[in-house]
Structure formats: structure tokens, C-alpha cells
């Protein structure tokens, strides 16, 4: 019969890793230094790997220890939240919420909502990765991701649409004064285009002229960037024509810093989704934030 997981040893391991030493870590969970050390030895023996590098003054996580620590920390946080939910009829978000959001959309739209959310629930803390890199939620231990556009490719994730927008072609007035304004999609060819993507390629520009089939422009532009905010800044600086969602450039268009091009051409819809790992019981800290995002981002283009 396989030995059961020792939750006390896991608590001791997490406490020691967080404290960076056995004495202070042991005190945090009500153990002596000796008891914490023995618990860690048993845990490493059961797992068949070393979790900590030990010196006379401190400890440090091994590579295996770091991976195990991240999972254990999340498990203990979920357990504390589950216990809290059982103790009260109205579950209060608490513990650590780890999320990843795209650069520009995250700064402009998600962080203000998250700030109000944290103010409303003082027992909750957040760790946020602001990047256009597509993180692996399961492998990297994120509770939630917000992503803009593109199909849902990871079947391990649950997706909820929280906002909708559409893309526009736009450029700075100074650039258009110098290079001229395109009047048809074919006129884009001689222009400096600013594209978004990674080293594997650019995100396509989808344009449907009146009474014609959709055009799909897939090649990288003269300036190719991996950040939507960087594309916006390059367009504002007059480098060329960009293709971006209105939730990123709507205020620039309204203020005259950017002008919409080929307004009679239809463009693609940009869907904003909240993604989270498929779990039977979604924690209140994630569920309530997703609800809040969906409510406050409703009518984003209005």
C-alpha cells in the first residue's frame, strides 16, 4: 500500500522554503527545528529527490524543489480557501491569485479592475505577469489568464468571453501627410507596415473590401514587434500603418493622434477571453474576478 502524503511535511517544506531557513520556517508552523528537518528528510525520501540545498546558515531550493514548491504553495492556498468557504456562507476571496495578462490591454483595462478588486477583498493578494508571451497556465501554476484574439488551442483550459472589440487600420496624421493615405487595400503594399507577432510570423491582417472577398495579409511588415503596446507607440511615432484592436487605440483615434484608414473595409472581431485551468470546483477568488471583468468590460467599445 502506497504511503499517504504527509500534509504536515508539505507545510513544513513550504514554510522553510519561504523563510530560507529551518529555524524560522519551523516556528512558522509550530515545529522545532529538529522536527522540521526530519519531516523534510522523510518527504525527500518519499519523492526520491532532493528538494533543498542545505548550508549551516541557510537553505535554497533545488530545481526539483522549486517546481514542487510552486505546486505545494498553490495546493495549500486552495486548501485554506476551501476551509474558509466552508466556515462562512458568503465565501471571501483570500490567499494568492496568480494571473497573466497581455501588456497593453492588461495595463489599460485589467489592472484598474484588479486594483479595485484587491481593495474590496483585503485577505487577497495578487501576483501578475504582464506580457504578450503566451504562458502555460497549468505548467507555470497560474490561476487565470486574459488573452486577446486567436482561437482557444489548449483543451485543458476553460474559456469565458469577457469583452469584444474589432481591429482597425490606423496611422499618425504626420505619417499620412508624408506618405499619403491608402484608398484601397492594394494601396497598403508600398506603405511601411507595423506588424505584431513573434519570430514565427506576424498575426494576419484580415480586410474585407466592399463587395469583395476577404484579403489576408500575413507577411511581416517593415517593423515587426512582439508587443501590442510597442506597435501602438510605433504608430503614434509616425513609423507606419498599424492594425490594432480599438480597445488599444480608441482613445488615440478620438483625440486625433491616430486616424482610421479604409473605414469602409470590414475587419476581424477581436475576442477577449478569461482562461483558467479546468477544475471541478472553481475557487471564489478566480470566479469572482472573472465575473467582475465580464461586467466591467461589457461594452468596451462604447
Concatenating the DSSP letter of every residue in 142-197 gives -SEEEEESS----TTEEEEEEEEEEEEEEE-HHHHHHH---SSGGGGTTS-EEEEE
Which domains can be identified in the chain, with CATH numbers? 7-86 (1.10.10.10), 89-163+271-296 (3.40.190.10), 165-269 (3.40.190.290)
Quote the cell numbers at residue 21.
Answer: 531557513
- pLDDT tens, position by position, 177-200: 999 999 888 888 889 999 998 888
Per-residue pLDDT tens over the stretch 221-269: 899 998 889 999 999 999 999 999 999 999 999 999 999 999 999 888 8
pTM exceeding 0.75: no
| pLDDT at residue number 85 | 62
Percent of all residues in the chain with a pLDDT value above 90, rounded to a whole number: 34
CA distances from 76 to 13, 69, 95, 187, 240 (A): 11, 10, 9, 58, 50
Amino acid at each position: 500500500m502506497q504511503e499517504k502524503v504527509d500534509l504536515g511535511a508539505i507545510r513544513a517544506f513550504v514554510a522553510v522554503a519561504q523563510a530560507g531557513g529551518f529555524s524560522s520556517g519551523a516556528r512558522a508552523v509550530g515545529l522545532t527545528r529538529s522536527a522540521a528537518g526530519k519531516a523534510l528528510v522523510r518527504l525527500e525520501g518519499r519523492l526520491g529527490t532532493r528538494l533543498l540545498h542545505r548550508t549551516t546558515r541557510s537553505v535554497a531550493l533545488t530545481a526539483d524543489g522549486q517546481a514542487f514548491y510552486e505546486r505545494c504553495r498553490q495546493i495549500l492556498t486552495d486548501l485554506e480557501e476551501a476551509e474558509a468557504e466552508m466556515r462562512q456562507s458568503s465565501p471571501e476571496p483570500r490567499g494568492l491569485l496568480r494571473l497573466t495578462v497581455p501588456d497593453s490591454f492588461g495595463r489599460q483595462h485589467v489592472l484598474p479592475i484588479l486594483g479595485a478588486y484587491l481593495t474590496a477583498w483585503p485577505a487577497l493578494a495578487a501576483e501578475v505577469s504582464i506580457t504578450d508571451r503566451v504562458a502555460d497556465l497549468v505548467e507555470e501554476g497560474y490561476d487565470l489568464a486574459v488573452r486577446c484574439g486567436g482561437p482557444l488551442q489548449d483543451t485543458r483550459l476553460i474559456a469565458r468571453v469577457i469583452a469584444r472589440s474589432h481591429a482597425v487600420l490606423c496611422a499618425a496624421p504626420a505619417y499620412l501627410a508624408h506618405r499619403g493615405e491608402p484608398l484601397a487595400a492594394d494601396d497598403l503594399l508600398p506603405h511601411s507596415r507595423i506588424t505584431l507577432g513573434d519570430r514565427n510570423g506576424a498575426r494576419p491582417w484580415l480586410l474585407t473590401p466592399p463587395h469583395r472577398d476577404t484579403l489576408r495579409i500575413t507577411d511581416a511588415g517593415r517593423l515587426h514587434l512582439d508587443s501590442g503596446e510597442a506597435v501602438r507607440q510605433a504608430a503614434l511615432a509616425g513609423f507606419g500603418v498599424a492594425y490594432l484592436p480599438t480597445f488599444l487605440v480608441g482613445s488615440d483615434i478620438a483625440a486625433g493622434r491616430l486616424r482610421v484608414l479604409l473605414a469602409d473595409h470590414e475587419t476581424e472581431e477581436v475576442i477577449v477571453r478569461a482562461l483558467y485551468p479546468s477544475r471541478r470546483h472553481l475557487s471564489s477568488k478566480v470566479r469572482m474576478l472573472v465575473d467582475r471583468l465580464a461586467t466591467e468590460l461589457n461594452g468596451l467599445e462604447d
